Each structure stands twice: as structure tokens, then as C-alpha cells.
Amino acid sequence: MENYFLASDGFYLNKPNGESITEDEYEFYKIDLSKVKNRN
């Protein structure tokens, strides 16, 4: 499993292994990129 991926609804970052309920389960933090602003 990759550490992150980008989808149409946001950026997903893999949670560290210690935070998953089982060793076969993957959990992700979802980051909503629509709230990120360009500072240029």
C-alpha cells in the first residue's frame, strides 16, 4: 500500500501502522484540497 494517493475528492495520507485497528486494515487521513489557496 502506498503512503498517499490523490483522488477527485481529496488527498489521502496513510495513517501510521500503530493507529490501525488490525494489521490487515489501512486507514487514511483525508485532506480537502479545495480549501488550499495559492499564494501567488
Cα distances (angstroms) measured from residue 10 to each of 19, 21, 22, 27: 21, 23, 25, 15
Q: How many CB atoms lie within 10 A of CB 40?
A: 3
pLDDT at 13: 92
Q: What does the block give as the cell for 30? A: 483525508
pLDDT at 3: 86
Which uninterrupted H or E stretch holds 30? strand 28-31
As a residue count, the chain comes to: 40
Q: What residues does each domain of the chain span?
A: 4-34
pTM: 0.59
pLDDT at 9: 87
Render pLDDT for 1-39 as a digit per residue (tens, 0 to 9). 468 998 888 899 988 765 556 667 778 899 888 877 777
pLDDT at 18: 58
